[in-house]
Amino acid sequence: MQRLLKNFGTFLSPKALRVQESLAMCYNLCGTFPIFSEIFSYSGKGGVKMVEKAKRVTIRDIAERLGISPATVSTALTGRRNGVFVSEETRRRVWEMARKMGYPLERLRARAPQLQRVALFSTSYYWSMVFMSAIQQLSDELKNQGGRLSIHIEGDPQQELSAIRELYRRQEVDGFILLGSRTNLGELVAKNIPFVVVGEVPEGVRVWQVFVKGEEGGRLIGEHLWSLGHRKVGAFHLEYNPLPSLKRIKGLQATWQEHGSDFPDDWVLPLQTEDERELWEKLPTFLFDAKGNLRFTALFCFNDRVAGTAMKCLRRLGIKAPDDISLVGFDNESFSELLDPPLTTVAVPFEPLLSLAAQLLREQVTSPSQPPKQVFLPCQLIVRASTAPVRAKHLLAPSIAG
């Protein structure tokens, strides 16, 4: 090695070659063989001299050699989403030049991926408002770590998938939190896109998920109503959100089955939306039998918002809660205790759910080979004044003409 260095030192001496030729040859050697970048450097006095160690290659050096921005080089090397799109061709060129110039790539491999840029997708504006406090908390946490949270509300599943693919392809996001139940997750899994679902998924689907067991909440409601003497309970099924809706009703039905009683299918009212007009059109026929008697002593309304709407419609029909019929919601939203009467409901731990989702997403990003984890949190029955023991009273169907 000493002889090799001596020969090159003589060969590159300004006494043997013109300064320009020496510099050009040294430049080429350092670019082709990184070891020489630690042997030779320009003296600044018209020649090239041997040094113990040359200047360390930086991202800016690579950027200047390729004629691109340092941010592009950083994104290409680290894989971190810096808001800069890097094509596969550019990434390849950057890595080739980094190797050629002797950039310490082993340091990059030792660094664990970071979760800094998170996109939260909600299926509706309503759900985004339910989780608003938890979303704000997550946003603050990411901001303190130098990251950011972007919020996207998309009701069309295909458009949501398209947006997720594009954001990830352009490397603008490290991972995704999907707020609300999902059924179309196959493509995200196949493309190894990191995501966590906050809500229900179809049976047998294994993805990263945090949720409250809807069936458990339905059982809590069923046991509460049964203990108050209710034996005929109507339930609203939201067809646009079938996974949690059916599981909550299943838990309610399980209570009747455990007591040896039937829960007929016609005790369930399908609703396509949460819109008041639809409920007002369907509720009278659902509530009253052919003789004009009230069919049920209690109603389970899927969530607090629908329960509030039902309370309003019942009042228009001259039916009081809980004197004539008990009402139960789900979620324990802030307004539920402000209703008249205050609403019995099931509390969902929104902030812990979202915080846990962020933890799982971080774990998934840093250890992508791990199998998916599913974590569920318990829910709690909140008893208020909208439920009461059964009273022996029958109502005649009022006139709702017009």
Listing DSSP states for 356-381 in one string gives: HHHHHHHHHHH-TTSPP-EEEE--EE
CATH of the structural domain 214-344, one choice from 3.60.21.10, 2.120.10.30, 3.40.470.10, 3.40.50.2300: 3.40.50.2300
Break the chain into its structural domains and give their ranges.
Answer: 2-50, 59-110, 117-212+350-378, 214-344
Domain 59-110, what architecture?
A: Orthogonal Bundle (1.10)
Token output for 283: 């509720």
Q: Cα 361 from chain centroid? A: 8
Contact 379, 216 (CB under 8 A): yes
Q: What's the rounded Cα separation, in Å, for the pair 151 and 119?
A: 6
* Per-residue pLDDT, 391: 84
Q: Would the pLDDT of 105 be above 60?
A: yes
User: What are the tens digits of pLDDT across the range 153-166?
Assistant: 988 999 999 999 99
pLDDT tens for each residue of 338-390: 999 999 999 999 999 999 999 999 999 888 888 999 999 999 999 999 999 99
Give the pLDDT confidence score for residue 76 in this predicted structure: 79
3-state secondary structure of 118: strand
d(CA 303, CA 235): 11
**How much is the pLDDT for 81?**
52
Are 246 and 237 in contact, with CB atoms under 8 Å apart? yes
pTM of this prediction exceeds 0.85: no
Q: Would you identify the CATH topology of the domain 117-212+350-378?
A: Rossmann fold (3.40.50)
For 121-155, what is the HEC assignment? EECCHHHHHHCHHHHHHHHHHHHHCCCEEEEEECC
Q: DSSP class of residue 87? A: -
- SS3 state of residue 331: strand
Cα separation, 392 vs 395, whole angstroms:
10
Domain 59-110 and domain 117-212+350-378 have a common topology: no
pLDDT of 28 strictly over 60: no
